Structure 1
Amino acid sequence: MSKIPYVRLIRKFAEETPQRTAIVCDDESITCEALEKRSNRLARAYAAQGVAEGDVVTVCLPNDAEYFYACVAIWKLGAIPNPLSTELPTTEFVAILAEAKPSLIVGVPTLPGYKTLPADYEPDESCSDDPLPEKISPHERAMTSGGSTGRPKLIIPANPALYDQQNPPQLFTPERAILVPGPLYHAGGYSTAWGGVFSGGCAVVMRRFDPEQCLHLIEKHRIDRVFFVPTMLNRIWRLPEKVRLGYDVSSLKFVASGGAPCPQWLFRAWIEWLGPERMFEGYGPSERIGRTFITGTEWLQHPGSVGKAMDGCKIRILDEHRKDVPVGTIGEIYMMPAAGTASTFIYRGAERRMTEDGWESVGDMGHLDSEGYLYIADRRTDMILCGGRNIFPAEIEAALNSHPAVKASVVVGLPDDDMGQKIHAIVENSKPVTEEALRQHLEHLLIRYKVPHSFEFVQIPLFNEAGKVCRSELRAERVSKRLLAINRMS
């Protein structure tokens, strides 16, 4: 059997290579032995709090050593870790807990109605670090999604906490260092970190993403693989050229982009910097209904694509009536896992979007070319209907972000009596820039009706540390302000 329980693998590493560094968080290193022993103590402490096999345990910890100890401890009890951001608004945090129903929350001092342990919790001496009877969590994790587009939902992968040693993910190689620049509560950060650990390598974890610090860590630890969201790629690229080229990144063999569509100009810039053989892009919802992958060399032949279907999954593009659309036509992306694959996830707090014959969608829009390469347009819920035309914010944002004064941008549709919706651009600028300058820039990149009708300049970050944006909240704030202004005038 090629699949081995997570907890057995952790114990195996502790026995065979006890002093090998498995995880680095800033200046703190975690050996295989330390990961095994402290997680055994924590598991006994969590059990004393009532955590049982199959329970969900919410982990509200930052990117640090305690996060890793906590997750392993939870798996040792046959329970399910539910990583959450430490910066969630109270309403969203409470909504997630209502769906997760955790038997314990780790990282929160007190919360009425729930058992909690603080982030600096230390088990007492009665909690031994001896091995525990092996248990296998029925679900490896319970992740959240949907906060950027509406009410959050819980996504619970159907697979148990087992690692496939014969078919490890392509990103991971034994005895090599992988960089984890993103938050561990996000699917990308979670998968990258644990993939590095379970493959027998070393996961180098950033507490918080910083573009220059990222390059420093790549040089220092001779990082050979890293997963970035496009926001991170953009911030590294925006560093002064002297700074960016001042670090030795020759150890990099695999630089992957995912989590959101990467603007063509940005991915091409990285290809020109590192070479196409080191650049990769992919697409795969947290629900694991399917995934795509493309190499940098392929990308140059199919610019903007996120690749072809992998692992036997299939892709269809359907219209609003769930009918297939012609090649090259934008529609909703539906995927189906390989034949014989069991259900890949369980939802809590949302309904599955599924056709009668088993094709599933998470609401993303895109098209296929004649060779089966997929191109992502945007989310169905983000689409702007302006004067009868379907407009996708991602295209406009990519054009805006190519301006040297733009650090980030978010495009939303605001109500309009005449056009239905008008295009509004919220711009986080890194240096002074005028609305007129941005209009002139966009006129060379977009058809006229896609140029925003209004611009707003802000100095607050538009994206969170996972590279995600709460578009629905930004839109609601602006609609509310507009209505308030109208009421004051009337």
Structure 2
Amino acid sequence: MTEQYAEPELGFPLSGIPGFYAAEMPDTVVAEAGGETLTWLELDRRSNGIARGLREKGSERGRIVSLLIPNSIDLILAIFACYKAGASPQVLSPRMTLHELTAILDLGNPAAVIVAEDGSGPDLPGTVTLPELAERQSEDSLDPQTAIAWKAPVSGGSTGRPKIILSGREAVTSDVDPTFWGIGPRERSLITAPLFHNAPLNTALCSIFRGGSVSLLNKFDAEGTLAETDRFGATWIYLVPTMMRRIMALPENIRASYSLASVRSFWHCAEPCPAWLKREWIEWVGAERLWELYAGTEAEAGCTIRGDEWLEHPGSIGAVTWGEIILLDDDGNEITEPDVAGEVFMRPPEGMPPTYHYIGAEPRTHGGWSSLGDMGHFDTDGYLYLHDRSSDMVTVGGVNIYPAEVEAALMEHPRVLTAVIIGLPDPDTGNRLHAIINTTGKGVADDDITQFLGDRLSRNKLPKTYETVSEPLRDDAGKVRRPALRAARLATLGNTDDSRKAS
């Protein structure tokens, strides 16, 4: 028999979530991070005072408030204070450069910019901290407010030009996000990545909206994640494949020392997952506990797939779970045949209002459908397989090559942690494939990689040059800034090209 829990009805204002659960379970911990905890009663009362301070700063319906706060209970307090002030929260990376941050703030014109109390964020005038906002403010309840958008995340790392993706949904409860993430009531969710990325933000908040508890990691650590899973009793965990690989690289006896018995489902997204890694996780945690999601921040449509489905459709990112997805060829014609590649276009279910609004950009659309630039194909059963983003394509000697295929082959090598393929100028072929590789401590020789790839890729897809780096190539959410990596290497080509030639 399924246990029943009290939850707010659909369409309930998010500003009222803390008060709803504080009345039912005031002393239950809703969030913890860095050794600090926050109960529902504390969240409700403390966010009231901060919200009053935000209203004095001009926060109201239709305004954005930017939050430069790392994963912490303060970040959860700030988000709900925004809702209570009627503003849309925008979580930004405290590690942004002043140039990046200024461009985003110019677009959003936030009513306030909240920074961490320890002063770890960028040196920006006019910022405010939570204690400053709450100073001398009453913690009594406020009149309810509803922001016009429940989130205002930022994107643009792949293009170099920022844009704000303002949600098309007001700050009210919905069953859409929790359903496609498989988040149930009273979930205990372990969030392993920063909330300035959309998926961690969505999943953390959806857990809270349903009366759950979240543990926010400040920094990903492979064994530390397993330890926190058992300590916290996590039932739902967010991962990206880079994290999965680092966990799987732990000695088997270390992994076996943690039970993970509390976990109902492990979810991964944000970057391609190598087939070998997916199989190892399925063998380790069980096919029915491993899930993958494909969607954009725009949330028009998406796919999910469970491990046992994936075993029947290896390499797929799932069948369409919500919204609609089609493939179009270069002339804008729909591709209806299976196993034929095209550009992925999406739209929300018929009758649903727009799910997002860009500030600072225009969507790529065709006949009411919009594209994120992904390429892919459907199989005969309607399962989608991604190839790469059209913008990442490299033309070498007149042949179009998608880096994702080469990167996937590279990451099958047991000593390659992550890899990024970029195109660099070549006097003979116009462009050459350049491989940037992050390896395990043992390293790997170039000729070993060349031989390894030779058994997996046709000759025209082999990198011409290699480069080994020690710094991570993807961030904690699995994202890679390919243009930035390419620009850094182009800047050195005028003086020297120290990348190693493939044999």
Q: Does 2:18 align with 1:10? A: yes
Identity of aligned residues (%): 36
Could you tell me which amino acid in structure 2 is paired with residue 233 of structure 1?
M
1:445–1:112 CA distance, 2 compared to 1 (3 A): closer
Give the Cα–Cα distance (whole angstroms) in 2 for the partners of residues 293 and 19 of structure 1: 35
CA contact 1:104–1:114 (8 Å) conserved in 2: no
Give the Cα–Cα distance (whole angstroms) in 1 for the partners of residues 475 and 56 of structure 2: 35
**Match of 1:282?**
293
CA-to-partner distance for each residue in 1:33-82, whole Å, 9 max, x for gaps? 00001100101111222222221110000001110111100110110111
CA-to-partner distance for each residue in 1:16-35, whole Å, 9 max, x for gaps? 11001111113111100000
Counterpart secondary structure, 2:496? helix
CA-to-partner distance for each residue in 1:313-366, whole Å, 9 max, x for gaps? 2211112222233421222100121111111100012111111x2011011111
Instruction: Tell me by how many angstroms 1:3 deviates.
Output: 2.0
Q: Does 2:105 align with 1:97? A: yes
CA contact 2:96–2:122 (8 Å) conserved in 1: no
Could you tell me which amino acid in structure 2 is paired with residue 191 of structure 1?
N
**Match of 2:466?**
455
Instruction: Tell me by how many angstroms 1:295 deviates.
Output: 1.2
CA contact 1:105–1:114 (8 Å) conserved in 2: no
Q: Does 2:373 align with 1:373? A: no
Instruction: Tell me by how many angstroms 1:253 deviates.
Output: 1.6
Give the Cα–Cα distance (whole angstroms) in 1 for the partners of residues 98 and 304 of structure 2: 37
Give the Cα–Cα distance (whole angstroms) in 2 for the partners of residues 275 and 259 of structure 1: 21
CA-to-partner distance for each residue in 1:291-317, whole Å, 9 max, x for gaps? 111111111111111111122x22111
CA contact 2:397–2:429 (8 Å) conserved in 1: yes
Give the Cα–Cα distance (whole angstroms) in 1 for the partners of residues 358 and 161 of structure 2: 13
Instruction: Tell me by how many angstroms 1:423 deviates.
Output: 0.6
CA contact 2:78–2:130 (8 Å) conserved in 1: no
Could you tell me which amino acid in structure 2 is paired with residue 419 of structure 1?
T
Give the Cα–Cα distance (whole angstroms) in 2 for the partners of residues 314 and 165 of structure 1: 18
Instruction: Tell me by how many angstroms 1:134 deviates.
Output: 0.1
Q: Does 2:421 align with 1:411? A: yes
CA contact 2:61–2:87 (8 Å) conserved in 1: yes
Give the Cα–Cα distance (whole angstroms) in 2 for the partners of residues 121 and 448 of structure 1: 61
Matches within 5 A, 1:164-313: 164=174, 168-169=178-179, 170-311=181-322, 313=323
In the superposition, the TM-score normalised over structure 1's length comes to 0.94
Q: Does 2:34 align with 1:34? A: no
Could you tell me which amino acid in structure 1 is paired with residue 438 of structure 2?
E
Could you tell me which amino acid in structure 2 is paired with residue 107 of structure 1?
V
CA contact 2:242–2:417 (8 Å) conserved in 1: no
Is the deviation greater in 201-210 or in 398-407? 398-407
Instruction: Tell me by how many angstroms 1:166 deviates.
Output: 9.5
1:165–1:341 CA distance, 2 compared to 1 (3 A): closer
CA contact 2:98–2:124 (8 Å) conserved in 1: no
1:263–1:120 CA distance, 2 compared to 1 (3 A): farther
**Match of 1:348?**
359
1:128–1:165 CA distance, 2 compared to 1 (3 A): farther
Instruction: Tell me by how many angstroms 1:471 deviates.
Output: 0.6
Q: Which runs of 4+ in 1 moved over 3 A?
A: 108-115, 118-122, 165-168
Instruction: Tell me by how many angstroms 1:483 deviates.
Output: 2.7
Which of 162, 176, 187 is equivalent to 2:172? 162
Instruction: Tell me by how many angstroms 1:165 deviates.
Output: 5.9
CA contact 1:2–1:166 (8 Å) conserved in 2: no
1:478–1:27 CA distance, 2 compared to 1 (3 A): same
In the superposition, the TM-score normalised over structure 2's length comes to 0.92
Give the Cα–Cα distance (whole angstroms) in 2 for the partners of residues 17 and 104 of structure 1: 32
Give the Cα–Cα distance (whole angstroms) in 2 for the partners of residues 220 and 318 of structure 1: 48
Instruction: Tell me by how many angstroms 1:239 deviates.
Output: 1.6
Is the deviation greater in 272-281 or in 438-447? 438-447
**Match of 2:329?**
319
Could you tell me which amino acid in structure 2 is paired with residue 359 of structure 1?
W
Give the Cα–Cα distance (whole angstroms) in 2 for the partners of residues 455 and 163 of structure 1: 49
**Match of 1:67?**
75
1:166–1:339 CA distance, 2 compared to 1 (3 A): closer
Which of 394, 404, 411 is equivalent to 2:404? 394
Counterpart secondary structure, 2:489? helix
CA-to-partner distance for each residue in 1:369-427, whole Å, 9 max, x for gaps? 12211111111111111122221212211221222221211111112232221110001
Is the deviation greater in 100-109 or in 12-21? 100-109
Give the Cα–Cα distance (whole angstroms) in 1 for the partners of residues 103 and 496 of structure 2: 31
Counterpart secondary structure, 1:93? helix
Instruction: Tell me by how many angstroms 1:444 deviates.
Output: 2.1
Instruction: Tell me by how many angstroms 1:145 deviates.
Output: 1.1
Could you tell me which amino acid in structure 2 is paired with residue 416 of structure 1?
D
1:322–1:166 CA distance, 2 compared to 1 (3 A): closer
Give the Cα–Cα distance (whole angstroms) in 2 for the partners of residues 464 and 113 of structure 1: 24
Counterpart secondary structure, 1:340? coil
Give the Cα–Cα distance (whole angstroms) in 2 for the partners of residues 261 and 394 of structure 1: 8
Instruction: Tell me by how many angstroms 1:115 deviates.
Output: 3.4
CA contact 2:406–2:461 (8 Å) conserved in 1: yes
Give the Cα–Cα distance (whole angstroms) in 1 for the partners of residues 98 and 421 of structure 2: 26
CA contact 1:333–1:365 (8 Å) conserved in 2: yes
**Match of 1:152?**
162
CA contact 1:22–1:202 (8 Å) conserved in 2: yes
Matches within 5 A, 1:39-54: 39-54=47-62
CA-to-partner distance for each residue in 1:89-127, whole Å, 9 max, x for gaps? 222111111111111100076989963103664622x20
Could you tell me which amino acid in structure 2 is paired with residue 64 of structure 1?
S
Could you tell me which amino acid in structure 1 is paired with residue 262 of structure 2?
S
CA contact 2:177–2:206 (8 Å) conserved in 1: no
Q: Does 2:451 align with 1:443? A: no
1:165–1:401 CA distance, 2 compared to 1 (3 A): closer
RMSD of aligned C-alpha atoms?
Answer: 1.9
Unaligned runs of 5+ in 2: 1-8, 498-503
**Match of 1:87?**
95
CA contact 1:103–1:115 (8 Å) conserved in 2: no
Give the Cα–Cα distance (whole angstroms) in 1 for the partners of residues 122 and 324 of structure 2: 44
Could you tell me which amino acid in structure 1 is paired with residue 382 of structure 2?
G
Which of 33, 56, 70 is equivalent to 1:25? 33
Q: Does 2:107 align with 1:107? A: no
CA contact 2:49–2:133 (8 Å) conserved in 1: no
Could you tell me which amino acid in structure 2 is paired with residue 387 of structure 1?
G
Give the Cα–Cα distance (whole angstroms) in 1 for the partners of residues 280 and 60 of structure 2: 50
CA contact 2:53–2:133 (8 Å) conserved in 1: no
